[in-house]
Amino acid sequence: MRAADATGLRRWLARLRLLPRSDGGSAAVEFGLAAPILVGLLVPVADLGIAYSQKILVDQAAQAGAQYAALHPWNSNSATEIANAVTSATTLPIAATPAPRQICGCPTGSTITEVTCGNICSNTETAGYYVVVNGQLPYTPVLPYSVLGNSVTLASQTTVRIR
């Protein structure tokens, strides 16, 4: 073996002995180990945020339909016009299903009990006229979750008294 080769070999062995005490590159290794865990936690949180944001838009679309119903008298075209107000409230493909409908009812706490129009409610008032507006949007998560399945329907219902 030549002297130059022996010197090179000694240097290489000396570096090899120092390797266990070296900390250069340990941050890269730690990041490589932690990054998949962080991404695994971040993606579902971001997905939940997107779903929640779209649910808010569905709620607002149903409220836009109810607002339209409150400002326009009910007629034979009202269900279609209210549905158009719901679907055009956002760029998302929201469906106004089930179709908007007019009901007569008595308020009982936080709900409306449907009754025949003209009936007297328990609070001695005549039953009111209400319009029920719905909005639905299918949401497909970014990643499939066993709890949610492939798709979830985000739905909202708004009821407004018109008379």
3-class SS letters over the chain? CCHHHHHHHHHHHHHHHHHHHCCCCHHHHHHHHHHHHHHHHHHHHHHHHHHHHHHHHHHHHHHHHHHHHHHCCCCCCHHHHHHHHHHCCCCCCCECCCCCEEEEEEEECCEEEECCCCCECCCCCECEEEEEEEEEEEECCCCCECCCECCEEEEEEEEEECC
Could you tell me if 143 and 44 are in contact, meaning their C-beta atoms sit under 8 angstroms apart? yes
Six token digits for residue 35? 């990054």
Question: Could you report the per-residue pLDDT of 13-34, keeping only the tens digit for each?
Answer: 877 777 666 666 777 888 888 9
9 by Cβ neighbours in 10 Å (0-12 / 13-18 / 19+) ranks as exposed
CA 142 to chain centre: 11
- 76-101 pLDDT, tens per residue? 888 999 999 999 999 999 999 999 99
Per-residue model confidence as pLDDT tens digits over 19-75: 666 666 777 888 888 999 998 888 888 888 998 999 999 999 999 999 999 998 888
pLDDT greater than 70 at residue 161:
yes
**What pLDDT is recorded for position 84?**
92
Query: 110 φ, ψ to 5°?
Result: -100, 10
Q: Which residue has 């865990």 as its token pair?
A: 37
Does residue 107 carry a pLDDT above 80?
yes
